[in-house]
Amino acid sequence: ARGIKKYFPIKKGFFMREVGQVKAVEEINLSVRRGETLGLVGESGCGKSTLGRTLIRLYEPTAGSIKFDGSDFLNLKGGELRQKRRDIQMIFQDPYASLDSRMTVGQIIEQPFKIHGLLGPAEREIRVKQLLELVGLKASHVNRYPHEFSGGQRQRISIARAVALNPKLIICDEPVSALDVSIQAQVLNLLKDLQERLNLTYIFISHDLSVIEHVCDRIAVMYLGKIVEMASRDELFKNPQHPYTRALMSSIPSIGMGKKKMSKILTGEIPSPINPPSGCTFHPRCAYKVAKCSEVVPEFEAIAPEHFKACHVDLDKDLERNLKETL
Ligand code: SF4
Ligand code: MG
């Protein structure tokens, strides 16, 4: 994806005049490699879901270009687009809302086959039962309704539906955020297992860095519609170089660290994406800022092979300041 922007118009009054724009996604460049899991992480409202949806044209981008599996994805139409759409699926946060409560599990999972006119009824039934078993449910559950399952089981049902047509790419948008912590690991492990067995590529969206660390190969940290840092998982966790990434990491709850300490590290609200701050949009909240931060937009640049950040300050060179802050 190159130069992806997604702005939503704000309209007001009787004539619905456009009075402004919500700049939800701003000039994003990224690539996802076959077979990997690319994580998008940031506080809620940073644009990660909007980016995920824009990348697969659930929202049409305001600007930019997307190449998917060799084709110019934004210019595909009709049958070609439908064909490519089969290769891309999405798993949502809320398994309660994303499953139709009036349909049986079998009807839910066979839907993609019906929509695309694939397989006859008998073949569909066989395939649906295989899919149930693939995600760790029983084939005999085929005639039950969503409310008869637990949250984790319901997310397994949406995963079965998502993989039904052998997609290449799945956007997982906070897939375990609505689940009990005890169930989260099971669902994450299922996703990992399916990735290997079915040769899937994931874009994995979460506000939760510990979940991101568990599943992602590479991670993009987002703030106010932009990627501020991107690196492999190991590099990012060992050597975070953007103040926002460091703030997010120090707010991962750990033993002996209460809520109070967490809120001290990342103060203030996310500014409005309608009128984002000048210069580096993180400057109102940044503990490392220097004079030019409020004036000059930092470039997104490589600081090591495969490690990029958008920040004027070299945090490692800033030892004295770091030390003062720790004391
Ligand atoms: Fe902080 Fe300045 Fe870096 Fe922005 S550019 S993150 S304000 S130090
Ligand atoms: Mg979201």
Residue 19, pLDDT score: 84
Residue 243: how many CB atoms within 10 A of its CB?
26
CA distances from 203 to 87, 120, 322 (A): 13, 32, 33
Q: Considering the chain, what percentage of its residues have pLDDT values greater than 70?
A: 92
| Neighbour-count burial of 260, counting CB atoms closer than 10 A to its CB (0-12 exposed, 13-18 middle, 19+ buried) | exposed
ipTM over 0.95: yes
- State pLDDT tens for residues 24-79: 999 999 999 999 999 999 998 899 999 999 999 999 999 999 999 989 999 999 88
pLDDT given at position 13: 85
> What pLDDT is attached to residue 316?
80
Mean pLDDT, rounded, for 142-150: 95
Residue 296 has pLDDT above 70, yes or no: yes
For atom 7 of ligand 1, which residue has the closest CA? 283
- Count of H helices and E strands in the chain? 12, 13
| Alpha-carbon gap, residue 322 to 325, rounded angstroms | 5
Query: b/e string for 166-175 if b means 16 or more Cβ within 10 A?
Result: ebbbbbbbbb
Mean of all residue pLDDT scores within the chain? 90
Residues with CB under 6 A from ligand 1: 243, 280, 282-283, 286, 288-289, 293, 298, 311-313
Q: pLDDT tens digits, residue range 199-255?
A: 999 999 999 999 999 999 999 999 999 999 999 999 999 999 999 999 999 876 544
Gap between the Cα atoms of 325 and 308, Å rounded: 25
Please tell me the residue having the least CA distance from ligand 1 atom 5: 311
146 vs 258, more confident: 146
What pLDDT is attached to residue 97? 80
* In the predicted structure, residue 129 carries a pLDDT above the cut 70: yes
Query: What pLDDT does 318 receive?
Result: 62
The secondary structure of residue 118, as a DSSP letter, is -
Ligand 1 atom closest to Cα of residue 313: 8
82 confidence band (pLDDT: 50, 70, 90)? confident
CA-to-CA distance for 320 and 299, rounded, in angstroms? 25
pLDDT at residue number 262 = 45
Task: Of 82-86, 187-191, 305-309, 316-320, give the lowest mean pLDDT range.
Answer: 316-320
- Taking the centre of ligand 2 as the mean of its atom positions, its distance from the CA of residue 225, in whole angstroms, is 12
- Neighbouring C-beta atoms of residue 154, cutoff 10 Å: 22
99 within 8 A of 154, measured Cβ to Cβ? yes
Residue 67 DSSP code: E
Are 40 and 19 in contact, with CB atoms under 8 Å apart?
no
Of the candidates 208, 178, 174, 207, which has an alpha carbon nearest to the alpha carbon of residue 191? 174
pLDDT, position 260: 41
Per-residue pLDDT tens digits for 248-284: 998 765 444 444 444 446 777 788 888 899 999 999 9
**In angstroms, what is the span from residue 43 Cα to ligand 2's centroid?**
9
For the segment 304-319, the average pLDDT, to the nearest whole number, is: 88
* More reliable by pLDDT, 27 or 319: 27
> Does residue 165 or residue 262 have the better pLDDT?
165
Q: Which among 226, 241, 270, 286 is the best mutation to test ligand 1's pocket, defined by most ligand atoms within 8 Å of the CB?
A: 286
